[in-house]
Amino acid sequence: MKAHTKILVLHLKERYGFRNLTEEVQRAVDESGVKEGMVLVNPMHITASVFINDDESGLHRDFLRWLEELAPHMPGLAYDHHRTGEDNADAHLKRQIMGREVVVAITAGRLHLGTWEQIFYGEFDGQRDKRVLIKVMGM
């Protein structure tokens, strides 16, 4: 059995946005030497997501508009969380809809993804350094 750990650092200039991580996750799998197994990818932050969906900019705009409808950014005291001085409760909620993590199969040394499956980092409270953990496990 083999295990490999890698941490990516991202810094989005926007408050909200998406980055395609697929190539970097494949690189971590390559480094691990794992041919059969699984890889876990998750942000180490609670206002961000790692998810799998389409690499299509129109859809990404749809995601952000939709998330804003379901969990609007409201910097005042409409959210109890803001009594702590924070203004990002919406980011904690948006991340629950998009999910925290993905687990992807590794087969013959490659991420076993469907044709259109791409791994994304979803940022909902950016403009600062954020870390993404990649954990590869297998044989």
Nearest to 94 by CA among 132, 67, 119, 133: 67
Binding of a copy of itself by 128 (CB under 8 A): no
> Which residues from 65-124 bind a copy of itself, rule CB under 8 A?
66, 70-71, 79-84, 89, 92-93, 95-103, 105, 107, 112-117
Residue 71 phi, psi (nearest 5) = -145, 75
- Please tell me whether residue 14 binds a copy of itself under the rule CB under 8 A: no
Stretch in the footprint of a copy of itself (CB under 8 A) among 8-16, 20-28, 40-48: 40-48
Token pair belonging to 19: 């980055």
Q: Where are the alpha helices (DSSP H) in the chain?
A: 22-32, 57-70, 89-98
Closer to a copy of itself by Cβ: residue 1 or 13: 1
Which residues lie below 8 Å from residue 105, measured CB to CB, with a gap of 6+?
Answer: 37, 38, 111, 112
- Pick 70 or 75: Cβ nearer a copy of itself: 70
The pattern of x and - marking residues 55 through 74 that bind a copy of itself according to CB under 8 A reads -xxxx-xxx--x---xx---
